[in-house]
Structures are given as C-alpha cells and as structure tokens.
Amino acid sequence: MRLNNLLERNKDDIVKQWLFSVIDTYPADTSKFMKMQKDPFANPVGNSISVNLGPLFDELLNEMDYESITSYLYPILRVRAVQPILSTSQSTGFIFLLKKVIRESLKKELSDKDILKELLHFESKIDELTLIAFDVYLKCREKVFEIKANEERNRTFRAFERAGLLTEIPADRPSL
C-alpha cells in the first residue's frame, strides 16, 4: 500500500496536527493552556491526549488490535466522560478529525486515484476506531453514573441513619 508509506513518512506531522485539532475541541482558554503547558502533572488531560494519539495512529496503520486500541482510548475518553462541557459526539468525534488532517497533509498525493482509493479504505478503519471509542466512552459514562448512584444511596442511607429512621431486624425473627 502506497498510502501507508505516505502516512508512515508523514506520521509525526499528522499526529501533531491531529493533537492540535483535538485540543481545539476544548474552550479557547483551556485549549490555549493545553497547548502551552507541557508539564504532564500540570496538564494531565493534554498529556493523556498527546501520549495516546501516536499509538492510536500506529494501530490504524497496522492490525488494529482491539485490546491495544482500547488501552489507548481509555485514558482519553475517561477524562472526556466526566467533562460536562463536551457532548457524547464531541467526546468521541475527535477521531473523525484525523480524516481532515490526513486529507490536508496529503492534498497533492490524493490526485492519484489509487491513493484516493486506499484512503477510502483507511477512512473506514477510522470509522471503526470511532465505533470502538463510542463503546469505551459509554463504559466510562456507565462507571460515572454508577459512582454517582452509589454516592447518592450512601448519602441517603447516612441521612436516614442520623434521623433514626433505620433499625436492624433481628436475625431470629421470622420473615414474612
């Protein structure tokens, strides 16, 4: 595949542009901070995105191992799942930004019909990656809701307990 060779050759630039595109999905002040702050402890969200986009791109170029893909998506999507500023489509749609980045990076080469045909196949892999991301995102959201439900249940239980509305049923009583 000639496209894979082109993508491999331009990988660093493509991943860098993809990173900037993903960061730009955040509000302007957050985006500016994420681009400027390189310290992974001061900018864990930006660092997580930066560290995992390259390996995700490698998976697209290679076999697309599901376990590897989910291990790279999880740190990015776990954070996006708890951010109220992002909708579900915004949280997972960052993967589609790669299509635009590739098309802009390979603008000249796409006049070749064979490469364009290969690009269409490659873009179907990006679509597949997006579907995997959606599944991972939903698992993260389910975990968030589970944590919230447990916390609310515990809060209610403690309130009832403080109010004296809970009593223990003796073990030797017959059940109705």
**Residue 32 domain boundaries:** 2-162
Residue 169 counted as domain residue? no
Query: pLDDT tens digit string along 81-111?
Result: 988 778 888 899 999 999 999 999 999 998 8
Q: Would you say residue 172 lies in a domain?
A: no
| pTM, full prediction | 0.82
pLDDT tens digits for range 125-138: 999 999 999 999 99
In a domain, 116, yes or no: yes
- Counting the structural domains of the chain, the total is 1
Determine, yes or no, domain membership for 125.
yes
In angstroms, the Cα distances linking 81 to 12, 135, 144, 175 are 27, 12, 8, 44
Q: Is the pLDDT of residue 153 over 80?
A: yes
Is 78 a domain residue?
yes
Between residues 173 and 31, the one the model is more confident about = 31
Q: What is the pLDDT of residue 169?
A: 67
Burial 14-49 (b: 16+ CB within 10 A, else e): bbebbbebbbebbeeeebebbeeeeeeeebebbbbb
